[in-house]
Amino acid sequence: MEDWNGFISGEQDVEVVEVLDSGDTITPNHVLRLTAYTDGYLCSPEENIYNITFSRFKIRDLASGCTILDIKKHCPTEIKDVIELDAGRFIQYRFTPVFLTLREIGATLEFTVGGKAVNRFRLIERHYFRDHLLKTFDFEIGFCIPYSRNTCEHIYTLPELDSDTVDEMIANPFETKSDSFYFANNKLIMHHKAEYSFSESRGPQY
């Protein structure tokens, strides 16, 4: 497990899930049809053939402009064209209940690309509380040139939740979860997972 500014990142003790026939490609349409948070990963680290490495993730509240979190990872000056097989694909986020009152947030992602150009880079996120789908976010990142450093910000319009659901999410840390699926040319190349707690009463405002 790795500590990114107080947020725990690392590999869960789960295996790659075989949801399709051997040799089939997992596409955006496949993950958009999923009805629940996945039990495991739908691809292996070796499928990140573009050597995409994330170095920073920042969230800000659009209404106030306040930074909610800023997760940074040491990134060498030289971009290495090596697949990181031990790169963390799982992270736990700890927020206060105030986070659930926000309506729009901006999420800035910084990443590097190895020696192969990335065409039609796309991110699909599926957020769940228990077995209930809260919302799907679908972002087209686009084309990335080889050996490049890239920054993009995605705007999230957060779902309006009823008070009972909010209370349950606060009372049950880490039962709110998400799958993040990254595609290149409509083929799944990375799958990250996250869990969320909204019960923290200490630390920052959010």
- Asked whether residue 16 is domain-assigned, the answer is no
- Asked whether residue 75 is domain-assigned, the answer is yes
Phi and psi, residue 100, nearest 5°: -75, -5
Q: Closest by alpha carbon to 79, among 152, 145, 149? A: 149
What letter represents residue 121's amino acid? F
**pLDDT value of position 163:** 95
Record the tokens describing residue 166, joined without a space. Answer: 């909010």
- Asked whether residue 204 is domain-assigned, the answer is no
Record the tokens describing residue 38, joined without a space. Answer: 């996945």
- Asked whether residue 203 is domain-assigned, the answer is no
Q: Residue 78 maps to which CATH number?
A: 2.70.50.40
Question: Token pair 């990443």 is at which residue?
Answer: 111
| Best-predicted range by mean pLDDT (8-17, 65-74, 120-129) | 120-129
Q: Give dist(CA 178, CA 118) in Å, integer.
A: 24
In tens, the pLDDT along 19-49 reads 444 457 899 999 999 999 999 999 999 999 9
- Asked whether residue 15 is domain-assigned, the answer is no
pLDDT band per the 50, 70, 90 thresholds, residue 77: low
* Residue-number span of the structural domain to which 30 is assigned: 2-10+21-197
In tens, the pLDDT along 135-160 reads 999 999 999 999 999 999 999 999 99
* Non-local CB neighbours of 199 within 8 Å, separated by 6+ positions: 96, 97, 170, 171, 173
Q: Give dist(CA 53, CA 73) in Å, integer.
A: 10
- What is the mean predicted confidence (pLDDT) over 68-96? 74
- What is the mean predicted confidence (pLDDT) over 51-55? 93
75-104 CB burial, b ≥16 within 10 A, e <16: eeeebeeebeeebbbbbbbbbbeebbebee
pLDDT band per the 50, 70, 90 thresholds, residue 131: confident
pTM: 0.84
- What is the mean predicted confidence (pLDDT) over 115-119? 96
Compute the mean pLDDT over every residue in the chain, rounded to the nearest whole number: 85
Using the 8-state DSSP alphabet, how is residue 26 labeled?
P
* Non-local CB neighbours of 106 within 8 Å, separated by 6+ positions: 59, 60, 62, 153, 154, 155, 156
Number of domains in the chain: 1
What are the C-alpha distances in Å from 68 to residues 107, 132, 177? Answer: 10, 25, 18
- Asked whether residue 138 is domain-assigned, the answer is yes
- Asked whether residue 202 is domain-assigned, the answer is no
